[in-house]
Structures are given as C-alpha cells and as structure tokens.
C-alpha cells in the first residue's frame, strides 16, 4: 500500500484534497502501520475514545463547578471513580449503609 500511495501521489495535482490525504498517510505511515508489528495493538482506538467520551460530554457542565479548588477536587474524585471502573470495581455499590 505504501508503494501504491507513493505512485498515486505523483499522479495527483499538488494542493488537491486527495493529495493532502495521501500526504497525510505517507507522513504518518509509521504510526498507521504500527499495529502490524504487534498483534496486541488494536487497529483502532474506539475503546479508549468510548472511555473518554463521558468526560468530554460533561466538560461544559463542569466548567463553572464553583472555584479552582472545587474543580481540582472534582477532578480527583472523577479520576478515582474511573480508575476503579477500569480495574473492575464498582465504585458506587447498590447497597449502602450510612
């Protein structure tokens, strides 16, 4: 594919959308083909994007959380909760005793 991209790049005019796409692929070829070296490396990053999505969606909600210190505290708590989830723990058990 790399050889094909280099050949096709010579056939398309500079500045065209396809030239930009091919240039991007060629300039990032090492990163694009990294998963071929190790079978444990996933082809895509959907899993990590799905893990980050709730934080990205909530960003505007947390923008005015109160103060700088309150924001830092909230970040620590959210980090602890997410770390617990990633390690297979339920950070919010259903049965609570107060």
pLDDT tens by residue, 64-77: 677 878 878 887 88
Phi and psi, residue 41, nearest 5°: -80, 125
Q: CB–CB of 43/26 below 8 Å?
A: no
In whole angstroms, what is the distance from residue 73 CA to residue 58 CA? 16
- In a domain? residue 9: yes
Count structural domains, the chain: 2
- In a domain? residue 96: no
Domain of residue 9 covers 2-36
- In a domain? residue 80: yes
In tens, the pLDDT along 3-50 reads 999 999 999 999 999 999 999 999 999 888 887 788 787 777 788 788
- In a domain? residue 95: no
Rg (CA), the chain: 22
The contacts found for 59-64 with CB under 8 angstroms, 24 or more apart, are none
Is residue 78 located within the same domain as residue 53?
Answer: yes
- In a domain? residue 92: no
Is residue 53 located within the same domain as residue 73?
Answer: yes
Report the first-to-last Cα separation within the chain, whole angstroms. Answer: 62
Task: Reply yes or no on whether the pLDDT at 98 is more than 60.
Answer: no
- In a domain? residue 94: no
């Amino acid at each position: 594919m790399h050889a094909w991209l280099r050949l096709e790049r010579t056939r398309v005019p500079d500045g065209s959308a396809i030239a930009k796409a091919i240039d991007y692929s060629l300039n990032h070829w090492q990163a694009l083909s990294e998963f071929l070296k190790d079978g444990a490396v996933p082809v895509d990053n959907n899993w990590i994007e799905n893990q980050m999505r709730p934080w990205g969606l909530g960003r505007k909600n947390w923008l005015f959380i109160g103060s700088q210190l309150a924001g830092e505290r909230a970040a620590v708590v959210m980090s602890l909760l997410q770390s617990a989830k990633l390690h297979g723990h339920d950070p919010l058990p259903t049965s609570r005793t107060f």
